[in-house]
Amino acid sequence: MSEFAVSQDTVTTVLRRARVFDGRRFLDGQHDLVLRAGTIESVTPSPAAIEVHDPRNEVVTVECAGRTVTPGFIDAHVHLMVSSTSLFDIFDKPFSLPYYESVGYAAAVLRSGVTTTRDAGFADAGMRAAIDRGIIAGPRMKISISIVSTTGGHGDLWLQSGIEAEQFMETPGRPNGVADGVDEVLKTTRRLFRAGADQIKICSTGGVLSPNDHPEHSQYSVTEIRTIVDEAEAHGSYVMSHAIGATGIRNALAAGVRSIEHGMLIDDEGLQLMLDTGAFLVPTLTAPRQVLLGAEQGVQVAPAMLDKAKRMADLHLASFARAAEVGVRIAMGSDAGVGPQGTSLDELAVMAEGGMSLERVLAAGTSEAAVLLQEGDRIGSLAPGYLADLVLLDLDLTDTGQLGGITDRVANVWKGGARVA
């Protein structure tokens, strides 16, 4: 058995006297939690006066007084195959190197307290299988595989020099996502599901880290997007849309996408559409900040991309604050890969900057993200029968001011009842 394929039946864990955020709210007083056979068996007020005996398993007790237990965090927008904003980095790497690098990235994300991710592009079914089989350490993964994009769109990295600056060329496990017109987008969607995609990622506007487009500009018609949405629903799945400009956001929502990624330039009509449809916003507030920070630290970022990042960073928090204020459903997403892997929880503090309460911020990274991923009955909450994905924070978490640097306060992480950090 791999060292990462730890049996969930070998240890029963008891966490005693913890402050508990259950995925929606903080429970009153201290609570004890029992983790057995990979799931949460009980959550009871302390002192529970229970003695846990398990003749089959070792019983491990963790003292949590003065500390906080939350569900394992869910990052709904990551790129676990990358950790750079530089296109120049692409040309210098041997073909297989990103696969080996991703092993370290996945482990760093898991250690940081993120037990489930939704990959927004590049990771294929092999990486998901390697984690599920215990070959490598990492969070649970929902994969998109390739980004579905128009020719010249955000997912098309053709340069005017004639060079294809694709981070990941087409392989048997990663179909090319560039497609135009109803027939092409339909076939591309089917090819992605055939390759193992859990959901489909499209671009309904231009982006920041792409050479040929602008964030304000729309990509794909409502008819094209609806074709993709209908096919995804036929597979029991949904569509997430990279969308920055107001028109492209509205087009995506009118066509039935489940989530808007980024959403920097959303207008009042778009906000109302989000409320009417129940679509989620995955804001990725730290992403443009990471681009700018990387450039300050010497990462080579093309000037046009850097200019776009500066413009979007100035607008991002204000548009997010409007969405939060009117009650749009929000799920945490960091766009990890734009910046260093293992920093997903930095997103929590920035969401609080945008006016969200502590409980709402934490819910965005747990129960709300689980609902978005269609996993709300399995993960994202601390309740009997849920998978035992938990984070123990080495602080008594009571206000949003404590969210800054929270990754450094992650004491332990459990995934499926197994302690992984």
Ordered domains of the chain (ranges, CATH): 11-71+381-419 (2.30.40.10), 73-344 (3.20.20.140)
Output the CA–CA distances (angstroms, integers) from residue 324 to 1, 240, 280, 353, in the order listed.
Answer: 46, 19, 11, 11
Residue 205 gets which letter from DSSP? B
Q: What is the pLDDT of residues 364-393, one digit of tens each?
A: 999 999 999 999 999 999 999 999 999 999
Whole-number pLDDT of residue 294: 76
Q: Does the pLDDT at position 90 exceed 70?
A: no
For the chain, the straight-line distance linking the first and the last C-alpha, in angstroms and rounded, comes to 19
Q: Does the pLDDT at position 190 exceed 70?
A: yes
Top pLDDT among 327 and 301 is at: 327
What amino acid is encoded at 419 in this protein? R
Whole-number pLDDT of residue 238: 98
Q: Percent of the chain beyond pLDDT 70?
A: 92
Maximum pairwise Cα distance, the chain = 71
- Are 35 and 416 in contact by the 8 Å Cβ rule? The answer is no
Whole-number pLDDT of residue 304: 73
User: What mean pLDDT do residues 305-316 have?
Assistant: 79
Which of 14, 134, 128, 133 has its CA nearest to residue 63? 14
Which of 56, 53, 131 has its CA nearest to residue 416? 131
Whole-number pLDDT of residue 111: 98
Compute the distance between CA of residue 51 and CA of residue 274 in angstroms, rounded to an integer: 48
User: What mean pLDDT do residues 295-314 have?
Assistant: 76
Q: What is the pLDDT of residues 91-136, one digit of tens each?
A: 678 889 989 999 999 999 999 999 999 999 999 999 999 999 999 9
Whole-number pLDDT of residue 306: 77
Q: Is 303 helix (H, G, I), strand (E, B) or coil?
A: helix
Q: What is the pLDDT of residues 212-238, one digit of tens each?
A: 778 889 999 999 999 999 999 999 999
| Chain mean pLDDT for the chain | 91
User: What mean pLDDT do residues 289-308 have?
Assistant: 76
Which of 75, 127, 124, 132 has its CA nearest to residue 103? 127
Q: Does the pLDDT at position 150 exceed 60?
A: yes
Q: Does the pLDDT at position 49 exceed 60?
A: no
Query: Which stretch of 174-188, 206-220, 320-334, 350-364 has the lowest confidence by average pLDDT?
Result: 206-220
Name residues whose C-beta falls within 8 Å of residue 294's C-beta, 6 or more positions apart in sequence. Answer: 84, 85, 86, 301, 339
User: What mean pLDDT do residues 5-29 have?
Assistant: 87
Whole-number pLDDT of residue 69: 98
Q: Alpha helices of 112-241 — where are they, by DSSP H?
A: 125-132, 181-194, 222-234
User: With the CA atoms of 179, 185, 187 and 192 taken in that order, what torsion angle do they form, in degrees rounded to the nearest 10?
Assistant: 80
Whole-number pLDDT of residue 166: 61
Q: What is the pLDDT of residues 325-334, one digit of tens each?
A: 999 999 999 9
Handedness of CA 223, 228, 232, 235 (dihedral sign): positive
Q: Does the pLDDT at position 6 exceed 50?
A: no
Compute the distance between CA of residue 201 and CA of residue 182 in angstroms, rounded to an integer: 16
Q: Does the pLDDT at position 58 exceed 70?
A: yes
Q: Does the pLDDT at position 1 exceed 50?
A: no
Handedness of CA 256, 262, 264, 268 (dihedral sign): positive
Whole-number pLDDT of residue 138: 98
Top pLDDT among 208 and 340 is at: 340
